[in-house]
Amino acid sequence: MADLEKRNPGEVEYLQAVREVLASIEVIYNQNPQFEKSGIIERLVEPDRILTFKIPWVDDQGNVQVNRGYRVQFNNALGPYKGGLRFHPSVNLSILKFLGFEQIFKNSLTTLPIGGGKGGADFQPKGKSNAEIMRFCQAYMMELWKIIGPETDVPAGDIGVGGREIGFLFGMYKKLTNNYSGVLTGKGLAWGGSLVRPEATGFGAVYFVQEMMATRKDTMQGKKVAVSGFGNVAWGAVKKLDQLGAKVITLSGPDGYVYDKEGISGNKIDYLLELRASNEDIIEPYARQFKSSTFTSGKRPWEVPCDIAMPCATQNELDQADAQNLVNNKCSCVCEVANMPCTPDAVETIQHNGLLYAPGKAANAGGVAVSGLEMTQNAMKLHWPAEEVDSRLHEIMRAIHASCVLYGKRPDGYIDYAKGANIAGFLKVANAMLDQGVI
């Protein structure tokens, strides 16, 4: 870690992600001297390559704008680099390296042949017109196309990149290469997309919570669930929670949170899509639309009493004070649906108090798993029905849960899902790297 800190000064999120993984694989690592001998850790923490590039584009007023684009190709021991693209003003190399690093283990857990990568740009989608989003996506792809391909690197969505953006990116890739291929996932249904991909991250996380609850002979029925965010991932989670008879009572945006005492179901779930498509990125209009709800400005939803908490927005959005609130309010389960939404001291508080805790790399792997299934369908040039994709997703989430239990169960019976996920994800990648030599 000391060496890594020296070589990557100031990369707070990246160092946080690496520290968390290294701490939990220490014992396994020391039991396998061949890892040390082959420099597995030193090779694993260094991305295979990073591309940064200029993205010049013209806004609706005719002004020239310049953003910075990235693609981090982190590790391809298990398959082509795979991971989303994030368009958000906060994007920098530290954030993309943290996300790419997490993606290696997450993708390993899915049981599918995919390596880890991540990309994006410091672009602010908020307030942009459809035409501006299109021009920006096209300008981004004018550089990215050179290093991606269906057997090389397969990007997808993340914050700020959904179906619309994938469409514009795919269109430009096709034009530049004259090649119609499954080079991106999260595509539209008519042009190579998979059923259930939009819902997959949220659905998968809820399946994971179901498995965790079952270890305590409990179910989702009637549980009060606090959700944060209101994007693609939150939407999928709310939809599945509602189907399973749980009651979702909160959502949040960068402006604050809404509490809906009657629960978020039916047309309220559809309204989320409208809100997201508005490009305004505030949750407050929800409270004006639905009288059963109230809006609290500038706060996070973790002060609301709930049985289950599912952070679905962004990294480090649930800190120790929030975790203590959840504990005090008798919450029994915290499931990370966003990537690394809990700070390390929040995780400590949650686990120390015996709550069920799922790390993002296990619980949110359903998104990339169905991306992997989209690649399979593209390669076979056919479409599976929704039931088939959903049942494969369910199976994958059960398998990830089983891996976490296998490597994370403590002698006192408590399941350390973070440790289990890290060890299971790491072992597969490390052994593949050993097999493939020093490259």
Residues at the site binding ligand 2IT, with contacts judged by CB under 6 A: 82-84, 106, 156, 158, 185, 339, 367-368, 371
CB nearer to ligand NDP: pick between 312 and 433: 312
Contacts (Cβ under 8 Å, ≥6 apart) of 356 = 209, 212, 213, 215, 216, 332, 333, 334, 335, 415, 417
CB nearer to ligand 2IT: pick between 120 and 301: 120
Structure tokens at 292: 């059963």
- Quick check: 417 and 408 in contact, CB under 8 A? yes
| Distance from C-alpha of 343 to C-alpha of 350, rounded to nearest angstrom | 11
54 as an active site residue: the answer is no
Say which entry of ligand NDP, ligand 2IT, none residue 231 contacts (CB below 5 to 8 A, set by partner kind). ligand NDP
Query: Residues 380-419: x/- map of binding to ligand NDP (CB under 6 A)?
Result: ----------------------------------------
Contacts (Cβ under 8 Å, ≥6 apart) of 160 = 86, 87, 88, 120, 123, 125
Structure tokens at 202: 């949220």
Determine the residue with CB nearest ligand NDP.
231
Say which entry of ligand NDP, ligand 2IT, none residue 83 contacts (CB below 5 to 8 A, set by partner kind). ligand 2IT
Query: Residues 136-155: x/- map of binding to ligand NDP (CB under 6 A)?
Result: --------------------
Structure tokens at 123: 């672009």
Strands 116-121 vs 81-87: parallel, antiparallel or unpaired: parallel
Say which entry of ligand NDP, ligand 2IT, none residue 126 contacts (CB below 5 to 8 A, set by partner kind). ligand NDP
Element (H, E) at 253: strand 247-253
SS3 state of residue 114: coil
| Locus of tokens 């997309």 | 193
CB nearer to ligand 2IT: pick between 198 and 408: 198
253 counts as binding ligand NDP under rule CB under 6 A: yes
Binder of ligand NDP out of 19, 126, 383, 409 (CB under 6 A): 126
| Locus of tokens 């014992």 | 27
CB nearer to ligand 2IT: pick between 234 and 368: 368
Dihedral over alpha carbons 423, 154, 341, 53 (to 10 degrees): 120
Contacts (Cβ under 8 Å, ≥6 apart) of 56 = 64, 65, 66, 139
Structure tokens at 107: 């993708």
Size of the site for ligand NDP (CB under 6 A): 27
Which one of the listed residues 118, 187, 240, 428 is annotated catalytic?
118
> Least distance in Å: CB of 416 to ligand NDP?
21
In the complex, which residues of this chain contact ligand NDP (CB under 6 A)? 84, 88, 126, 157-160, 162, 201, 228-233, 252-254, 281, 312-314, 317, 338-339, 364, 367
Q: Would you please indicate which residues are annotated as catalytic (active-site) residues? A: 118
